[in-house]
Amino acid sequence: MRLLAIVAAALLTACEPAPAPQRDATQEAWYSETVQQLAGMNREAESFFDSGKSDQAAALIEKGQPLMSRLLSVPRPTLEATEAASDLDDLYGRMLLANRHYGWARLLFQKNLARWRQPQTPEAARRLQRAQSAIAECDRHLVE
C-alpha cells in the first residue's frame, strides 16, 4: 500500500505542466525605452554638471537611479543598459569626488571597475581605465 502511494505521487508529480518559458525582458518595448530615457538623462545631467549646475545634475542622477535598477534587474542586461548605468555611476562618482566625498565616490568607481573587468572591446577597456584612474584619484585624497 505504501509503495502504491509513492508511485501515485511520483506519477502525479510527473504530470505537472512544464513551467512556462521566461520571456527575455531585454526584447520588450519598455526595456529599450528605459535605456534611451536613462541615456538621455545622463547626457542632460552631464551637461548640467559641466556647466556648474550641480543641483540640476544631482536631481537627474537621483531620478535615474530607479531606471538603472530596473534595467540591471533582468537576468542578462544589454550592453547599452550596462553602459547607461556605468555612465550614471561615473557622473555620480565625479560629483561626489568634487564634493570631497572620496569614499562614496570610490565605491561608485569600484562598481564600474567590476563591470568592465573583462574588457572585450576597446570601449570596455577605455571604461575600465577610466574607473581605475578615478579610483586612484580617490585613493590619493583618502590618504591626505
Query: pLDDT confidence of 144, banded at 50, 70, 90?
Result: confident
Detail the DSSP E strand segments found in 31-131.
none
| pLDDT recorded at residue 8 | 58
Pair 128, 116: CB distance under 8 Å = yes
CA–CA gap between residue 33 and residue 39 (Å, rounded): 10
CA–CA gap between residue 57 and residue 39 (Å, rounded): 14
Instruction: State yes or no: pLDDT of 25 exceeds 70.
Output: yes
| pLDDT recorded at residue 103 | 96
Q: Which sequence spans correspond to the domains of the chain?
A: 29-142
| pLDDT recorded at residue 106 | 97
104 DSSP assignment: H
- Span 53-78, average pLDDT: 96
Pair 109, 93: CB distance under 8 Å = yes
